[in-house]
Structures are given as structure tokens and as C-alpha cells.
């Protein structure tokens, strides 16, 4: 359960409110100032903030605006005395969930808080959890994200190697923008069939081409008022690049086969792991589109360039793996931490995530040990599936099937083996 943070400069009342919440089965802590609240929010999993309007070093609106600027989007309730009601109303206009006249220790308020926390636990299209790195390059990236996200007129091009987390960066740009409550639509341009790419992006009208049996809305329409993320944008054909450039310049587009133009109210964020400058010289990418996309480039570092973040990021991923797998692994022992920090991580964050999830599944004790971690420089069988004996292998396969809801394709991926290898092992252990 995430913590409710009570922000109140009257120590006695702060303690009273926090204790009341705890007695009602909720987890709560209190701080006495805006500065302490910022420090707590930055370092803990906070589910809801219950703040007094008037504080010794500022007010609740200042705290709320700081949270919005730094991507902390959670229910924010203002506590107010009779004389501060105008300020509380101002806070609601600035984005606070509601204001509560003191004293707040009522059944109605308890139900409101419980409902907000329960609603927050439900996954939504805009829910996304971020790890904020502390290495110099990661902090520089975060600073640039905070600068560009609110500037809606700038197109962002995210550049970085495969697996570095470019979509996470795009989602952060969206979450910190004024479009955060509107859709975030991600498109893998590398997976778009070349002959249907224009239709997927801009939609088409019935009869536009063979197989177009009805009108179709495209990704531009799906992202209306929100953010459209084009991953691996260098894979678009020259024809689609021209259509995209026109849509960005004119803020309008025409569905394939259509006569009427549609207004494009989107913020575009693109990403690539390709050298687009080289693609321009080779005639594969339009130079004018490149300059339109590259108004504010964000450079995502390699995981190996951020050694200070490897263990904290692995622990962050372990929390997620524990939830997904129904496990309660506490962390990595010292030897395993040493191994993780020494490894070069050519697959970057994506590779680390896979290694951590598999290690969490294999872990037999409270802590992940080196035998649970499968990395290329460790002894293993030819198919990459390191196991000690048949009994362990059978148990691990059963765990993988259980964790994936008996999805054999997903189980094979989790175990790091091919589907054909998994089928052979299922037959071997009579699990088919």
C-alpha cells in the first residue's frame, strides 16, 4: 500500500491526522514543511498528498505546482480553515483534487481518500512508473525532459541505442506536458507494413484501396489533443515522410482516399536508434523532415554509461517482477550486485529487465544469488537455459507457465529458450 503524506506545520494536528488514517487501515506519514514534503515525495512511494493550505515555508499550491513540474501525478487534497477557503478554491483550479474543511477526521473524508487510492491502483492508459536515475548523464537527461515537456510547440527527437528506454522518455515528456490527461499513442514504425503505413497513421475512407471495406481512423486521430510517439521513425518510406512533414507543418492531414482535411491537434515525439544524418546522405530520409523533428533532441545514454544506476534500477525492476510473478524477493546479494555492475549490458535497460525478471522467477531464497542470474559470460547450455538438474528444470518450467497464465510463447521468452525447445521439455516431463 502506498503512503498518504500529511503536510501540516502544526505538529500536534499533523500527528493526530496521521494516526487517524493509520487507525483506519491506511499507511500514513507526516511532514511539517513544503521542503520536507518535496524530499519525502522524491524518495518514497506516495499514493496521495493531504496538505494544509498555509504552511510555514510556503503553501499547498506551491507544493502542488512543484509536483506537477516534476511529474508527480497523484491525488492532492487541501486541508483548510474557514479563512483559507479562497486559497483552497485556487488550489482546486490549479489541479488539486478537492479541498477539505478542518477537522478532516470524518467518515466522509475517509471514504473519499480510500476511493481515490483504490482508483489510483487501477491501470489506465496514462499510468506509467518511472525510475529517475542519479548518474550524471541520467540527471542531465531528466533536466532536459523537464525543460522541453511543457513547451508544446517543440517537436522532440529521442536518440539512443536499442533498449535504452526511449519510449519511457517519450512517456515522461507526455506526463510532464499540458497534454498529460489526453491519449499517449505509441507507433512502432519498423512494424508498419510499408503499403499500409499511411493508412495506419492518417486513416482511410471506404473504398480507398482494395480491402478498405469501411472508414478507418488512424493514429493521428487516436492521439487527438495528446501525444503521438513515432518509434524508429527512420523506417518510414519517403512517401510517408512527405505526408508526415506536411501534417506537421500545416497541422492538418487528409485520410487516404479522402477529400476533406482533418485538423491535427497532436504533439509529436519521435525516436530513432539510427544515424539519420547518414540516412539523409544515402537518400533514405528527408532532410527537411529531419530538421522539423530535431527541434529539441534528447540523448538517452547507454546503461553502461550510468554505472551508478545499475543496482537501483535492478531493484526497481525487481519490485515490478515481484508483483507480476507473485513473489517476494528482497534484493540481490553482494556478489550478484558485483556481477551486475561489472557486466557491459549491450542490450541496455531492456536486457537488464529480462535478466531481473528471470532471476526473480528462479530465486529459491529471499535474495537473488549469482546462480539465479543468467548472463552470457557465465557457463550455460547451448540454448542459454542454465539449470542444475532435471527436478529443478521441471519446477522452473512449471513456475514460468504459472507466471504467464500457461502462455507457452511468453513462458519460453521468460525462460530464455525457443518455443520448440520448450515443447520438447514439456513432452520430456509429460507437461504437454
The answer to whether residues 152 and 261 belong to one domain is: yes
Examine residue 30 and state whether it is found in any structural domain, yes or no: yes
pLDDT tens digit at each of 432 positions of the chain: 678 999 999 999 999 999 999 999 899 999 999 999 998 988 778 889 999 988 989 888 899 888 877 777 789 999 887 556 677 777 787 788 888 888 899 888 988 898 888 776 554 433 445 677 889 999 999 999 999 999 988 999 999 999 999 999 999 999 889 888 888 899 999 888 877 888 889 988 887 777 777 877 788 988 889 999 999 999 999 999 999 999 999 999 988 888 888 898 999 999 999 999 999 999 999 999 999 999 999 999 999 999 999 999 999 999 889 988 889 999 999 999 999 998 989 999 999 999 999 999 999 989 999 999 988 754 333 333 434 455 567 777 887 787 777 888 888 877 777 777 888 888 777 787
Round to whole Å and give the CA distance between 115 and 113: 5
CATH number assigned to the domain comprising residue 351: 1.10.8.60
Examine residue 237 and state whether it is found in any structural domain, yes or no: yes
CB-count exposure of residue 124 (10 Å: 0-12, 13-18, 19+) = exposed
The answer to whether residues 178 and 311 belong to one domain is: no
Number of structural domains in the chain: 4
In this prediction, residue 261 carries a pLDDT of 87
The answer to whether residues 140 and 160 belong to one domain is: yes
CATH number assigned to the domain comprising residue 418: 1.10.10.60
**Domain-terminating residue out of 299, 328, 361:** 299
Examine residue 32 and state whether it is found in any structural domain, yes or no: yes
In this prediction, residue 386 carries a pLDDT of 39
The answer to whether residues 409 and 282 belong to one domain is: no
In this prediction, residue 366 carries a pLDDT of 92
- Residue 82's Cα: distance from chain center in Å? 40
Examine residue 276 and state whether it is found in any structural domain, yes or no: yes
CATH number assigned to the domain comprising residue 74: 3.40.50.2300
| Residue 4: partners with Cβ closer than 8 Å, 6 or more residues away | 21, 26, 27, 28, 29, 46, 47, 48, 49, 50, 113, 117
The answer to whether residues 83 and 219 belong to one domain is: no
Kindly report the pTM of this predicted structure.
0.62
In this prediction, residue 129 carries a pLDDT of 57
In this prediction, residue 123 carries a pLDDT of 43
Q: What are phi and psi of 249, to 5 degrees?
A: -75, -45
- The end-to-end CA distance of the chain, in Å, is 39
Extract long-range pairs of 358-366: CB within 8 Å, 24+ residues apart.
358/414, 358/415, 358/416, 360/318, 360/321, 360/322, 360/325, 360/327, 360/329, 361/321, 361/325, 361/327, 361/396, 361/399, 361/400, 361/403, 361/414, 362/396, 363/327, 363/329, 366/328, 366/329, 366/330
**Domain-terminating residue out of 271, 299, 327:** 299
| Residue 87: partners with Cβ closer than 8 Å, 6 or more residues away | 53, 54, 59, 60, 61, 80
Overall residue count recorded for the chain in this entry = 432
In this prediction, residue 383 carries a pLDDT of 37
Round to whole Å and give the CA distance between 203 and 152: 24
Strand partners, 228: 185, 268
The answer to whether residues 169 and 222 belong to one domain is: yes
Residue labelled with grid coordinates 508544446: 152
**Domain-terminating residue out of 94, 121, 148:** 121
* Host domain of residue 326: 306-378
3-class SS at 100? Answer: strand
The answer to whether residues 316 and 198 belong to one domain is: no
Report which of 262, 263, 254, 267 is spatially closest to residue 295, judged by C-alpha positions.
267
| Bond into 124 cis (ω within 30) | no
In this prediction, residue 382 carries a pLDDT of 32
Angle at 415 between CA 411 and CA 419, to 5 degrees: 60
CB-count exposure of residue 361 (10 Å: 0-12, 13-18, 19+) = buried
Amino acid at each position: 500500500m502506498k503512503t498518504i503524506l500529511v503536510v501540516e506545520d502544526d505538529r500536534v494536528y499533523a500527528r493526530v491526522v496521521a494516526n487517524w488514517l493509520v487507525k483506519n487501515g491506511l499507511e500514513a506519514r507526516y511532514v511539517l514543511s513544503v521542503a520536507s514534503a518535496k524530499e519525502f515525495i522524491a524518495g518514497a512511494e506516495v499514493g496521495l498528498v493531504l496538505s494544509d493550505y498555509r504552511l510555514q515555508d510556503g503553501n499547498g499550491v506551491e507544493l502542488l505546482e512543484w509536483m506537477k513540474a516534476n511529474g508527480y501525478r497523484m491525488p492532492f487534497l487541501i486541508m483548510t480553515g474557514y479563512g483559507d477557503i479562497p486559497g483552497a478554491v485556487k488550489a482546486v483550479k490549479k489541479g488539486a483534487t478537492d479541498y477539505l474543511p478542518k477537522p478532516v477526521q470524518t467518515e466522509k473524508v475517509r471514504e473519499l481518500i480510500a476511493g481515490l487510492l483504490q482508483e489510483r491502483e487501477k491501470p489506465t492508459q496514462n499510468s506509467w512508473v518511472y525510475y529517475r536515475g542519479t548518474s550524471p548523464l541520467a540527471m542531465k537527461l531528466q533536466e532536459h525532459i523537464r525543460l522541453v515537456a511543457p513547451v508544446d510547440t517543440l517537436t522532440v527527437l529521442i536518440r539512443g541505442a536499442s533498449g535504452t528506454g526511449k519510449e519511457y522518455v517519450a512517456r515522461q515528456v507526455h506526463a510532464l506536458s499540458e497534454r498529460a490527461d489526453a491519449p499517449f499513442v505509441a507507433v512502432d514504425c519498423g512494424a508498419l507494413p510499408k503499403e499500409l503505413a499511411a493508412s495506419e497513421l492518417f486513416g482511410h475512407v471506404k473504398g480507398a484501396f482494395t480491402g478498405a471495406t469501411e472508414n478507418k481512423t488512424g493514429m493521428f486521430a487516436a492521439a487527438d489533443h495528446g501525444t503521438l510517439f513515432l518509434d524508429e521513425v527512420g523506417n518510414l518510406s519517403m512517401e510517408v515522410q512527405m505526408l508526415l512533414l506536411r501534417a506537421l507543418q500545416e497541422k492538418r492531414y487528409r485520410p487516404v482516399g479522402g477529400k476533406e482535411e482533418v485538423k491535427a491537434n497532436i504533439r509529436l515525439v519521435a525516436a530513432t536508434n539510427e544515424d539519420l544524418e547518414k540516412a539523409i546522405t544515402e537518400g533514405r530520409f528527408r532532410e527537411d523532415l529531419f530538421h522539423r523533428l530535431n527541434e529539441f533532441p534528447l540523448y538517452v545514454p547507454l546503461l553502461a554509461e550510468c554505472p551508478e544506476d545499475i543496482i537501483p534500477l535492478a531493484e526497481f525492476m525487481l519490485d515490478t517482477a515481484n508483483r507480476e510473478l507473485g513473489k517476494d524477493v528482497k534484493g540481490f546479494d553482494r556478489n550478484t550486485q558485483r556481477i551486475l555492475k561489472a557486466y557491459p549490458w549491450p542490450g541496455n535497460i531492456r536486457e537488464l529487465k529480462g535478466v531481473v525478471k528471470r532471476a526473480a522467477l528462479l530465486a529459491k531464497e529471499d535474495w537473488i544469488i549469482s546462480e539465479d542470474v543468467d548472463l552470457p559470460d557465465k557457463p550455460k547450455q547451448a540454448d542459454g537455459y542454465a539449470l542444475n538438474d532435471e527436478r529443478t528444470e521441471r519446477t522452473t518450467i512449471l513456475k514460468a507457465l504459472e507466471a504467464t497464465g500457461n502462455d507457452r510463447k511468453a513462458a519460453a521468452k521468460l525462460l530464455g529458450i525457443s518455443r520448440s525447445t520448450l515443447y520438447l521439455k514439456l513432452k520430456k516431463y509429460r507437461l504437454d
